[in-house]
Amino acid sequence: MIGAALRHWRDEVGDVTALGAVRVALGLMLLHGAVRAARELSAGYFGDVFHWSMLPEALVPSRAVYTVLVAALGLLAVLVVAGLRSREAMLASALLGTYLLSCDRLQFHHNRWALLCMALLVSLSPCDRTFRIGGASAPAVGPLWPVRLAQLQVSIVYLASGGSKLFDADWRGGQVLLERFHLYASQAIDAGVPAGILAWLSHPDVTGALAKLAIGTELLLALGLWLRRTRWIALALGMIFHGIIEVTARVEGFSWLMLASYGLFFLPELGALRARFGRHGGPPVK
Amino acid sequence: MPPRTDANRPCPLRPALRYRDRVARVLDLGPRARLVFAACWIVAQVALVLTAAGRPDGAFGFRMFPEASTIEIHLQRRVGDRVVPAPRGEWSARDTAGQLRHFSWHDRVRDPVLSVLDERRFASYGADAQLDRLKRALDDVSDHVPDDAETAQLQADVLVWRNGRGPETIALLGHPRSVP
């Protein structure tokens, strides 16, 4: 039975039309990361000051090499977005990005690592057949095993995040959220949030309930996106969840990454939508 | 060299694969490679997540918003048997020739959390992550002030508010420097 399930997972094919859209979204995020790295480089090269390499120091690139690598990251991201040698470019982006991330742990952020993981997995899928510049789109049916693995990666992110909070008494009890509200209350008021709402949110009972809600949401998203019955509910919940995160915290592109990754769970629906409204109408060729 | 036979001649019906096709074949894993890759990927990810608690910053563990802790770093120097403050990370000391020189923490430390001294600051990725980085920063700065012939050791007294509780004071030391 396990063997049959593994064979099914390994050999499954399906509509991959919308994978191109996921690729473009990831490409834009990779491009944003390259631009950010270039901006930071213009302010100073990280290797000239205190940094913490996970690799032997001899493997940290010099300023000149790093400059070239950042430019390469930008070029690769453009290729990913344009759909030109996009799978190779995406794989190279993921590997190069991981290398650079390893060169300075001070620059490590979970969202950056998550993006590189997703880029690597999606590069193994036939994501280059649609949403590309020039050339006719190839038949939009392809192997789904990398998509399933990327979906699993989304669940791993939610499970790890929600699970670590669940086992942390301060998080579970609302102390972390309570302190965050205290720390950022003045900024929120400056941004127009009514003080009365903040005062209510800053009550320990409320933060305790919100913490449990946040943990429950993350764990639910890890599972709910997989099930046909709960997928749309999970999508709505995820959009609200990440919308709140986006307006209340600085998480770089994390929210956008997770929302783009939701597309992996809706490939048939998105493919049908594109067939209905796009240039390449008609059912997918099996 | 053996004579060329028909078996060595390229088949006219199967032209050599173009570069693009060769790369595509590498990315399009075969049935066995798919299973091997997926197994390795999942094992690696699970291992990284489960061992994240052992790393102060939880790197590769996807622990989003782990804490709401704050820290306040005060830099000091051990000169002889005295400990003297280095307000805002700036200090003056004599070199081996007796010339008075100026030194700054910020010449080496540009990190948005660690570069802010004598002010309470949000500890991204938690207090332990920042304390671990600060210890390394102390060592790094100690190694990059060769003209300071007075400072035997750098020290940071850190006030830590863990998720609002505290503060507790933690003293971190850079590695000792040899001074005349």
Chain-chain contact of B27 with A124 (C-beta, under 8 angstroms): yes
Testing the interface with B: which of A16, A108, A110 to mutate, by most B Cβ within 10 A? Answer: A110
**Position with higher pLDDT, A194 vs B78:** B78
Whole-number pLDDT of residue A276: 72
Residue B1 has pLDDT above 80, yes or no: no
Min Cα distance A229 → chain B (Å) is: 26
Per-residue model confidence as pLDDT tens digits over B115-163: 999 999 999 999 999 999 999 999 999 999 999 999 999 999 999 999 9
Q: What is the mean pLDDT of chain B?
A: 90
- Domain-located, residue B1: no
Whole-number pLDDT of residue A285: 40
Q: What is the pTM of this model?
A: 0.90
> Which residues have CB under 8 Å from A41's CB, separation 6+?
A66, A67, A70
User: Which residues of chain A lie closer than 8 angstroms to B114, CB-CB?
Assistant: 50
Looking at the structure, do residues B45 and B97 belong to the same domain, yes or no?
Answer: no
Region B89-109 average pLDDT: 96
User: Which residues of chain A lie closer than 8 angstroms to B34, CB-CB?
Assistant: 10, 145
ipTM of the complex, rounded to two decimals: 0.91
Looking at the structure, do residues B101 and B26 belong to the same domain, yes or no?
Answer: no
Per-residue model confidence as pLDDT tens digits over A196-252: 888 898 899 999 999 999 999 999 999 999 999 999 999 999 999 999 888 777 778
Burial environment of residue A236 by CB neighbours within 10 A (0 to 12, 13 to 18, 19 or more): exposed
Looking at the structure, do residues B41 and B75 belong to the same domain, yes or no?
Answer: no
Looking at the structure, do residues B83 and B126 belong to the same domain, yes or no?
Answer: yes
Domain ranges for chain A, please list them: 16-133, 144-269
DSSP for A182-231, please give it: HHHHHHHHHTT--HHHHHHHTSHHHHHHHHHHHHHHHHHHHHHTTSTTTH
For residue A46 the two structure tokens come to: 């990280």
Task: Work out how many domains chain B is built from and give that number.
Answer: 2
Whole-number pLDDT of residue A53: 97
Looking at the structure, do residues B44 and B100 belong to the same domain, yes or no?
Answer: no
- Domain-located, residue B4: no
Whole-number pLDDT of residue B22: 56
pLDDT band at B21 (very low <50, low <70, confident <90, very high): low
Chain-chain contact of A164 with B163 (C-beta, under 8 angstroms): no
Weakest-pLDDT range from A33-47, A222-236, A241-255, B46-60: A241-255
Q: What's chain B's Rg over C-alpha atoms?
A: 28
CA distance B140 to A122: 39
A 171-210: CB under 8 A from B: 171, 175-180, 182-183
A 49-68: CB under 8 A from B: 49-50, 52
Per-residue model confidence as pLDDT tens digits over B61-88: 999 999 999 999 999 999 999 999 999 9
Whole-number pLDDT of residue A138: 57
Structural domain boundaries enclosing B16: 12-50
- Domain-located, residue B55: no
CA distance B101 to B47: 49
CA distance B144 to A63: 19
